[in-house]
Chain A
Amino acid sequence: MSSDSSYQTYYVPEQSKLPIVMAIGLAVTVFGAGSMLNDMSAGRADSLAHWIFYAGALIIAGTMFNWFSKVIKENHAGMYSDQLNRSFVWGMSWFIFSEVMFFAAFFGALYYVRNFAVPWLGGEGEKGISNMLWPQFQATWPLVNMPDATNFTTPKALVDPWHIPLWNTILLLSSSVTVHFAHTALKKENRAGLKLWLFVTVALGFTFLALQIYEYAEAYNHLGLTLNSGIYGSTFFMLTGFHGAHVTIGGIMLTIMLLRVLKGHFKPDDHFGFEAASWYWHFVDVVWVGLFLFVYIL
């Protein structure tokens, strides 16, 4: 908002084919995904819908690659003013805020079932009359014995927070620190440090994911804890699953940043792509702390 005379024209891109291809990709993906799930639930074994879904996903991935490449090229060509970079800052911040609200919906659901719905079903509290649906039901949390387990899988045991989840907490928290070291190194023009710390961050991130996959396999194969295990399984897998999906996205972002670092991208005063990826990483880290507290421990 400076009124000095050195105003650099705000870059308004020319016509672009990227958005329409992206919109088509999204449409194909969701049509494929919808058909795929409907065919799956209807038990149609000869369904080809998953190919539509893959095709859409491929279009989206290809368009994103081209779109980001174009933005990077434009930035390297010096077409972006400081003001335009601030637009990216606002854009990424509000995008992360929208992601926070997405998780808030699931944390809110967890809060509601734990503090209201389940106790009421068990006959406690002001709406305890709902206990007349299943009078033998006892409210406990974690909810292992469901009011009516006919259509659900009763788990034998739950994930112990003090083994893999604790390690995962340590991994993810340290990765937030290492990505900060990488950022500091980048600002001090310490390329070797940047490469090292960024590599460590990516490695920690993917180790986290590997452990998470192992934990899921254990839960499904040995504990009998699945998506189908009533409201506990639902909230457990949806919260940790969406978090895992976001770690995957963040991990891909950071991997791309590492590849860009290896190509010689980023300057101490011009590295918004890196910063955005690191903010995203801090965000998935904070969400994990919430998960560890409210899903695993409490």
Chain B
Amino acid sequence: MSAVIETHDHNHHHGPAKGWQRWVYTTNHKDIGTLYLWFSFIMFLVGGSMAMVIRAELFQPGLQIVAPEFFNQMTTMHGLIMVFGAVMPAFVGLANWMVPMMVGAPDMALPRMNNLSFWILPFAFTLLLSTLFMEGGAPNFGWTFYAPLSTTYAPDTVTFFIFGVHIIGASSIMGAINIVATILNMRAPGMTLMKMPLFVWTWLITAYLLIAVMPVLAGVVTMMLMDIHFGTSFFSAAGGGDPVLFQHVFWFFGHPEVYIMILPAFGVVSQIIPTFSRKRLFGYTSMVYATSSIAFLSFIVWAHHMFTVGMPLAGELFFMYATMLIAVPTGVKVFNWVTTMFRGSLTFETPMLFATSFVVLFTIGGFSGLMLAIAPADFQYHDTYFVVAHFHYVLVPGAIFGIMAGVYYWLPKWCGNMYNETLGKCHFWLSFVGMNLTFFPMHFVGLAGMPRRIPDYALQFADFNQISSIGGFMFGATQLLFLYIVINAIRSGKPASQQVWESAEGLEWSIPSPAPYHTFSTPPEVK
């Protein structure tokens, strides 16, 4: 692989503009990636603060800190902000930074639309957050916004929530189209599909999922809007509709959505583990096929979220078996990561710590997912803290640890400086302990029957909830350390080399650190 650095000056290929205009008018994939990542971190803190409110209220039984109505707004907004404001934009940010550099492209395929995809988000989330201060309060029906809670019994602000979701969806679709076009059309000569780094592969598949299901989300919120304001009866049985229809359409979006939040993390981890094992990734081809199979299966398992809603037996069985099938390609991936490390020359820098704990903890989340997939058993777990434990195990040490691993791994390439390794390890261990303290006890209270989304609970759950809350505060506070580490690296970290990590492979390591404002204006030749 050869690096071609732009030395001659095109008339429009100078460095970044100065001041705020650089960020607002930018068409540069690196600027837009940075915007996405900072925005998602801010949303992570906002959504995290809401989680702190929830954990504070649940520190002991009884109602002490917030009113139940406000508690419901907190659980709803926490979920919505973390899913749509923190995790998804963070992955789009990573894609913006890395995909063009990894495939040897000069920028994203449609740079102006790329800027639009980002700038919709601050407006959309301002609108969503402003509902907290409106009459009637913010949406309080859970992030899954089941009808009729979100239609007949919803606060007026649900209208702004619906329109907010519309423009967030438009942003995601445009972002995904841009990523697909970049990957399919902008690869450097010789970069065949099966030579692409796995992060690029997982994002290609994720982008396909986004384009397929975000319109369905738009459809379901439109049905809500019509039911609320125009007298239609999609979710009203009196008119011949069905509230369960809401759940079917929502989860047809919702299940691929959870893979949208994990597949790019699979990609990040598949980049990091080989680097710190000093071996090639084991089973590259099977990784590609496993990711594709997971994406395909994600379209035919949605009703496993609704086992208790009253489905025909054939439906329960089909969705149960189809769901269990997902364990096969996921198992292939876990096997490949472990086998990549097997007899490797391992070192555990911060990205590798996050990546290895990803493999272990995500697998725990996968196993509790298998438990939930068993329809007859699910009747016991449904809507308990066991479900909360399950999806936080796949989202926190899954998606969030994947993002953090990626940030530590590529930060030296972005800003040109190394982060402080000691502090990075502190951040990891505090996050690791805090996160397990928070979510592991939730399995126990959930199996014992503690329902989710309730501000009060029976006395016998008090001890485990206190442990969860202490872990939650610990995990939350630790993220301020992460902020410090990143700012410290940008301002005064030691300069990083071009290679950064001794056995990292890929086009992104063939350019200087920090990456020049424009890279690969003429495509490199990939052998």
Residues of A bordering B, CB below 8 Å: 1-3, 7, 9-10, 12-20, 22-24, 26-27, 30-31, 33-34, 37-38, 40-42, 67, 83-84, 86-88, 90-91, 94-95, 97-99, 101-102, 104-106, 108-109, 112-113, 116-118, 121, 125-127, 130, 133-134, 143, 146-152, 226-228, 230-235, 237-238
Contact = CB atoms under 8 A, between A and B. Distances in A.
A96 B106 CA distance: 26
A147 B10 CA distance: 70
23 contacts: A2-B189, A3-B190, A19-B25, A27-B167, A30-B127, A30-B167, A31-B163, A40-B229, A41-B229, A90-B180, A97-B211, A101-B213, A102-B218, A104-B219, A106-B219, A108-B252, A113-B241, A121-B240, A146-B238, A146-B240, A147-B237, A234-B234, A234-B239
A33 B252 CA distance: 27
Contacts of B349: none
Given A10-B521, A90-B185, 5 more contacts: A7-B523, A102-B215, A113-B245, A148-B238, A152-B231
A34 to B, nearest CB: 4
A34 B160 contact: yes
A134 B236 CA distance: 13
Given A12-B111, A19-B115, A146-B240, A105 B518 contact: no
Contacts of A231: 233-234, 239-241
A125 B312 CA distance: 9
A41 B228 contact: yes
Given A109-B245, A113-B240, A130-B237, A9 B119 contact: no
Interface in B16-31: 17, 21-22, 24-28
Contacts of B107: 10, 12
B525 to A, nearest CB: 7
A66 to B, nearest CB: 11
A76 B177 CA distance: 25
Centre residue among A42, A67, A98, A127 by max chain B CB count within 10 A: A98
B123 A23 contact: yes
Contacts of A226: 231
Given A227-B226, A230-B239, A234-B226, A13 B180 contact: no
A236 B240 CA distance: 13
Contacts of A147: 237-240
Q: Which of A40, A86, A97, A234 has the most CB of B within 10 A?
A: A234
Given A10-B186, A26-B167, A113-B245, A238 B26 contact: no
Contacts of A37: 159, 225, 228-229
Contacts of B494: none
Given A15-B25, A90-B181, A238-B226, A150 B109 contact: no
B147 interface: no
Contacts of A84: 109
Q: Which of A19, A42, A126, A127 neighbours the largest number of chain B CB atoms within 10 Å of its CB?
A: A19
B109 A105 contact: no
Interface of B: 10, 12-13, 17, 21-22, 24-28, 105-107, 109-113, 115-116, 119-120, 123-124, 126-127, 156, 159-160, 162-164, 166-167, 170, 173, 176-178, 180-182, 184-187, 189-190, 211-216, 218-220, 222-223, 225-226, 228-234, 237-242, 244-245, 248-249, 252, 310-313, 518, 521-523, 525
B120 A23 contact: yes
B245 A227 contact: no
Given A3-B189, A20-B119, A227-B230, A94 B312 contact: no
Q: Indicate the member of B176, B185, B220 with the most A CB atoms within 10 Å.
A: B185
A19 B116 contact: yes
Nearest to A122: B240
A109 B223 contact: yes
B123 A9 contact: no
Contacts of A87: 109-110, 181-182, 185-186
Contacts of B116: 18-19, 22-23
Nearest to B210: A98
Contacts of B10: 9
Nearest to B170: A26
Sorted from nearest, which 7 A-B pairs have the closest CB atoms?
A105-B219, A27-B123, A231-B240, A234-B232, A30-B163, A117-B242, A19-B116
Given A27-B124, A151-B238, A7 B211 contact: no
A137 B173 CA distance: 42
Nearest to B190: A3
Nearest to A87: B109
A238 B111 CA distance: 34
B157 to A, nearest CB: 8
A232 B123 CA distance: 36
Nearest to A142: B240
Nearest to A137: B240
A94 B170 CA distance: 13
Nearest to B230: A227
A166 B519 CA distance: 56
B42 to A, nearest CB: 17
Nearest to A140: B240
B159 A3 contact: no
Contacts of A23: 116, 119-120, 123
B173 to A, nearest CB: 5
Nearest to B253: A105
Contact of B25 (A16, A90, A146): A16
A121 B240 CA distance: 8
B127 A31 contact: yes
A14 B160 contact: no
Contacts of B211: 94, 97-98, 101
A1 B521 contact: no
Given A94-B211, A231-B241, A9 B180 contact: no
A84 B518 CA distance: 17
A20 B24 contact: yes
Contacts of B106: 9-10, 12
A109 B234 contact: yes
A13 B163 contact: no
B392 to A, nearest CB: 29
Contacts of B182: 87
Nearest to B126: A27
Contacts of A31: 127, 160, 163
Nearest to A83: B185
B164 A232 contact: no
B313 A152 contact: no
Contacts of A26: 120, 123, 167, 170
Contacts of B245: 109, 112-113, 117
Contacts of B110: 87-88, 91
Contacts of B213: 101
Given A31-B160, A105-B215, A143 B240 contact: yes
A91 B25 contact: no
A88 B109 CA distance: 9
B130 to A, nearest CB: 9
Contacts of B234: 109, 231, 234-235
A268 B185 CA distance: 23
Contacts of A130: 237
Given A1-B187, A26-B120, A20 B164 contact: no
